[in-house]
Every structure is written in structure tokens, then in C-alpha cells.
Amino acid sequence: MDGVAVDLYVIDSLMPDLVGHDRRASAFIVYLYLWRRTRGGSRPARASHQMIADGTGLSKGAVQAAVRWLTQRRLVDTKRTAPTAAPSFTLVCHWRSR
């Protein structure tokens, strides 16, 4: 069975901050999805908003809003090679540098 290790910071600090304080549960769900796809933030992952929606059960609009929020909070960095290309996501794990 495959498993994914999640940093304690993600559960102990990020979850209450995004879900409780910001009231953005969908942002936390998208962050966990990207955590899995990026193997804990160790590498970038390319995924369309529709792929994330299908993988999380959220609507595409909810995913778009969550990605905007995560980018605004500087938790996720997104890059596109072309305007219509699926973005490449990189997690910004600022707590690891402390």
C-alpha cells in the first residue's frame, strides 16, 4: 500500500488557519491534493483545474478560487508555459526553512 507523509505543520497549523480562520476548506483540500501530486512539495506537478476538480470532488470554480487563495497566501506557486496550458504547481513550504 502506498502512503503519503504529511508534515505536522500542514495538519497542526495550516488546516486550522485555512479552514477555521480563512473559512476556505476547499483551499485546504486543493493543497492536500497538490501535496500528493508534488510528493510533499519536492517537485512541481502539472494539473489542470478540471483534473484537480475531478480528483477532489470540488467544482472547477471552487478549485479556481482555492488556487487563487493559495497563490495569494503564497502557499502555492503556479507557472504556465502558454495561456491555455495546464499550470505547473509548486508548493511553497516556508516552514521547512526555519
Task: Let me know if residue 90 belongs to a domain.
Answer: yes
Number of domains in the chain: 1
User: What integer pLDDT is reported at residue 88 of this predicted model?
Assistant: 95
Query: Is it the case that residue 1 has pLDDT exceeding 80?
Result: no
pTM of the predicted model as reported, rounded to 2 decimal places = 0.90
Residue 2 lies in a domain: no
In this predicted structure, what is the pLDDT of residue 5? 86
Residue 1 inside a domain? The answer is no
Average confidence score pLDDT of the chain: 91
CATH number at residue 73: 1.10.10.10
What residue numbers bound the domain in which 79 lies?
8-97
Q: 95 or 11: whose pLDDT is higher?
A: 11
In a domain, 85, yes or no: yes
Residue 17 lies in a domain: yes
Contacts of 26 (CB under 8 A, 6+ apart): 58, 62, 63, 65, 66
> For residue range 20-66, what is the model confidence (pLDDT) as tens digits?
999 999 999 999 999 999 988 889 999 999 999 999 999 999 999 99
Q: How far from 33 is each of 43, 56, 83, CA to CA, in Å? A: 14, 7, 23
For residues 15 and 25, give the distance between their C-alpha atoms in angstroms, rounded to a whole number.
8
Q: Are strands 45-46 and 76-79 parallel, antiparallel or unpaired?
A: unpaired
* 98 has pLDDT over 70: no
pLDDT at 12: 92
* Residue 87 included in any domain: yes
